[in-house]
Amino acid sequence: MQLGFLVDLHLCMGCKGCEIACKVENEVPLSTWRLRVKYVDVGTFPETKRTFTPLRCNHCENAPCERICPVSALHYIENGIVNIDKERCIGCAGCVMACPYGAIYIDPETQTADKCTYCAHRIASSMMPACVVACPVEANIFGDLEDPTSNISKYIQQHRDVQVRKPEKGTNPHHFYVGASQVHLNPLASKREEGYSLFNNITHLPLGGHH
Amino acid sequence: MVHETLAATNAVVTLDVALPEVFWGWYVTMNMWAKSIGTGLVFMLFLLLRRNPEEMKGLRTSAMIVSFVMMNVFLLFTLADLHQPFRMWHIFFYPHLTSAITVGAWMASIFVGLESLMIVVMLFKKDTVTYDKLLFWTTLLAIPVTLYTAGIMAEATARELWQMPTEAVQMILAATLSGSAAMILLGGNKLSDETKSFFANILGLSALMAFIIYMSEYIFGAMKAEEVAAILHYVKGEGEYATMFWIGQWVAYILPMILVALYRVSRSSAMLNLAAILAIVGLWVVKHVWLVIPQLLPLS
């Protein structure tokens, strides 16, 4: 079994239900996110539209975070999930530096690395990840990539525009997008300008880093 | 390149709380800088032993103590940079051998152990024969100890600027630059003119080669990948780190090169000492800029 995620961006409406469900389920501290929805505004007024991209750990088959972790705190489990043992983590932030998707953060409460685990604890109890359950439009499709009859496998078979983020990195992500453009997937395809963010002056909890 | 479509799409991120910018800051710079001096001095001691063993007198203990201190500075800052420093022992009891961090920590620990042994051998037994034998193995180990940080940077796949083998070469050059500079300062009048000139050449050539690599990256790096191009914007034109980048290049490489060239004409020790001091100070700045700029790029 190799579990994977697919987000149909045609369906996603940026409600952030997945984000909140993840926060609640995993008790993610303030100012950190295991899953977040990025908004990018495209075009010039009045011809504008807003795109939504849920971003989470890609659970790569060739995960740079797993490779660089000095103590195997980041490790594969049999179903393909890249899990994290927070008791073992030494907080070196090597994984933060290695993840090409910016999906790993240092938990300000435990001072250890943390990220999306596809709700491994729920899956162990035969439940779907919290974000899948919360999505009102079923944009999150989750299942076994090795089972051709699973929803995710069928989705991949039926859609031509299945993409992953940064395929050139050779990480073989187990997280796919349907209906994505460069603006959705490539961080360099959009500007980050001061004053354009819906949230400004965001307070980050102290991490103990030395900048 | 995708950023060229920006004018057409006018795409602006309006909501995304990405990671805080810099995770590996000046503690990691201190780590790299101190390690360069620590291993670099061992390289220079070995070269001196091969070239002119009689000049080792008086330098065996002092140079090794300085190297030992710098290696401990390196280890201290490595430890301090951890968010869970009291779990450092996990590296030794739960080692993950695909990680350059693990392999490096093991090798650096053995290296420091060997250095301690050499200091003990000199301080308490004055046994130069054993010291010189141990120096061979310590020098051999100094090579991977110098290089493993490049391995960590290569494994940090998110940071496109840090590439192998460029970083490996830069690490070795940083060690030969700072090691020769430290040896010039430590050796002082104990070194003959010929030996000083030898270390001056190493200093000047290391500076030249490192400068060539940085300039190659600066000029041609943007042609390799759009991420590298975006990162290099931070050190070009009005870039946030442009001034610091050029201060580093001038202080670590350009001025020492000029001063070494002038030393070769004038034989002025003061000029050579100044070159050595500038190289050591400038190396910190160069390392810091190169460490920080790839972390400024948004990943999401």
Question: How far is residue B149's CA from residue B170's CA, in Å, rounded to a whole number?
Answer: 11
pLDDT band at residue A191 using 50, 70 and 90 as cut-offs: confident
C-beta atoms of B300 and A101 within 8 A = yes
Q: How far is A42 from chain B (nearest CA, A)?
A: 4
Domain membership flag for residue B123: yes
Q: Does the pLDDT at position B21 exceed 90?
A: no
Domain membership flag for residue B4: no
Q: How many domains does one find in chain B?
A: 1
Q: What is the mean pLDDT of residues A32-38?
A: 92
**In this predicted structure, which of A113-122, A193-202, B155-164 has the lowest mean pLDDT?**
A193-202
Give the type of residue at A188. L
Q: What is the mean pLDDT of residues A108-121?
A: 94
A-chain residues near B87 (CB < 8 A): 71, 88-91
pLDDT band at residue B2 using 50, 70 and 90 as cut-offs: low
A-chain residues near B157 (CB < 8 A): 64, 98, 100, 169, 171
pLDDT band at residue A193 using 50, 70 and 90 as cut-offs: confident
Closest-CA residue in chain B for A169? Answer: B157
Which two structure tokens, joined as six digits, stand for B280?
């050591």
Backbone dihedral angles phi then psi of residue A207, each to the nearest 5 degrees? -110, -15
- What is the reported pLDDT for B4? 67
Which two structure tokens, joined as six digits, stand for B264?
């070769």
Domain membership flag for residue A11: yes
pLDDT band at residue A113 using 50, 70 and 90 as cut-offs: very high
Domain membership flag for residue B193: yes
Question: How far is residue A145's CA from residue A129's CA, in Å, rounded to a whole number?
Answer: 16
CB-CB: which of A43, A192, A198 is closest to B298? A192
Mutation target to probe the A interface, by most A beta carbons within 10 A, among B1, B2, B5, B12 is B12
A191: which DSSP letter?
A: B
Q: What share of chain A in percent tops pLDDT 90?
A: 82
A171 Cβ under 8 Å from any chain B Cβ: yes
A-chain residues near B5 (CB < 8 A): 182, 189
Angle of CA points B204, B166, B254, to nearest 5°:
25
Domain membership flag for residue B151: yes
Domain membership flag for residue B5: no
pLDDT tens column, A167-184: 999 999 999 999 999 999
**In this predicted structure, which of A7-16, A121-130, A196-205, B243-252 has the lowest mean pLDDT?**
A196-205
pLDDT tens column, B50-104: 999 999 988 999 999 999 999 999 999 999 999 999 999 999 999 999 999 999 9
C-beta atoms of A43 and B9 within 8 A = yes
Q: Which domain holds residue A65?
A: 3-189
Domain membership flag for residue B248: yes
Domain membership flag for residue A78: yes
CATH number at B219 reads 1.20.1630.10
Domain membership flag for residue A153: yes
Q: How far is B218 from chain A (nearest CA, A)?
A: 19
Taking residue A73's Cβ as centre, other Cβ atoms within 10 Å add up to 27
Domain membership flag for residue A209: no
pLDDT tens column, B186-213: 998 899 999 999 999 999 999 999 999 9
> What mean pLDDT is reported for chain B?
94
C-beta atoms of A68 and B9 within 8 A = no
Backbone dihedral angles phi then psi of residue A83, each to the nearest 5 degrees? -100, 170
pLDDT tens column, B23-53: 899 999 999 999 999 999 999 999 999 999 9
Closest-CA residue in chain B for A197? Answer: B14
Domain membership flag for residue B143: yes
Q: Which domain holds residue B207?
A: 15-296
CB-CB: which of A38, A71, A208 is closest to B15? A38
Q: How many domains does one find in chain A?
A: 1
CATH number at A57 reads 3.30.70.20
C-beta atoms of B24 and A93 within 8 A = yes
Q: Does the pLDDT at position A211 exceed 60?
A: no
Backbone dihedral angles phi then psi of residue A14, each to the nearest 5 degrees? 70, 30
